[in-house]
């Protein structure tokens, strides 16, 4: 059974969904829409997100499962390969997964990512570096990219 929990962060209310020992949803919401049922895993996910937002963490150490097509999974793997502090265009991702010309489909797949930050879809930008498309709001995407440009405050063992 999937459970959801809600946590306050610097960027708003974080929704964490968990099932079968894995995080299934990690996203910001305007307000909670389900019963708040925190688990040790959802608490840990929230802790890691807060560390990330403070500049103390660059990546997440969470069991994650994301339901989607093989194309979406290819896009999500490519998004995970974008290093912290860097961006790639939707077109670059399309080429990387062997689907040149599929930039719009890449954008759609990024928009279906259920575990924001763990699959860093905010690092994907439009042609010429334009901030386009982020289900959490472009203002959050901008904040996340700004955060990743700052010097890293975390311990070297937290990657």
Give CA torsion, residues 80, 83, 89, 92, to 10 deg: -80
Question: Do 36 and 5 meet the contact criterion of CB atoms below 8 Å apart?
Answer: yes
Catalytic residues: 121
Q: Among 157, 154, 156, which Cα is nearest to 51's?
A: 154
Three-point CA angle 13, 147, 18, nearest 5°: 35
Q: Among 67, 68, 60, which Cα is nearest to 159's?
A: 60
What are the angstrom distances between the C-alpha of 139 and each of 64, 91, 142? 25, 22, 5
């Amino acid at each position: 059974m999937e459970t959801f929990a809600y946590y306050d962060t610097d960027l708003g209310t974080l929704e964490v969904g968990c099932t079968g020992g894995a995080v299934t949803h990690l996203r910001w919401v305007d307000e909670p829409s389900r019963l708040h049922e925190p688990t040790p895993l959802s608490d840990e996910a929230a802790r890691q997100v807060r560390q990330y937002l403070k500049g103390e963490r660059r990546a997440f150490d969470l069991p994650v499962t994301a339901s989607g097509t093989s194309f979406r999974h290819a896009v999500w793997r490519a998004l995970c390969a974008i290093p912290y502090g860097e961006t790639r265009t939707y077109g670059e991702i399309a080429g990387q997964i062997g689907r040149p010309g599929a930039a719009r489909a890449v954008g759609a797949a990024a928009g279906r990512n259920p575990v924001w930050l763990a699959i860093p879809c905010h690092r994907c930008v439009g042609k010429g570096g334009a901030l386009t498309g982020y289900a959490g709001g472009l203002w959050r995407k901008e904040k996340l990219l700004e955060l990743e440009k700052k010097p890293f405050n975390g311990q070297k063992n937290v990657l």
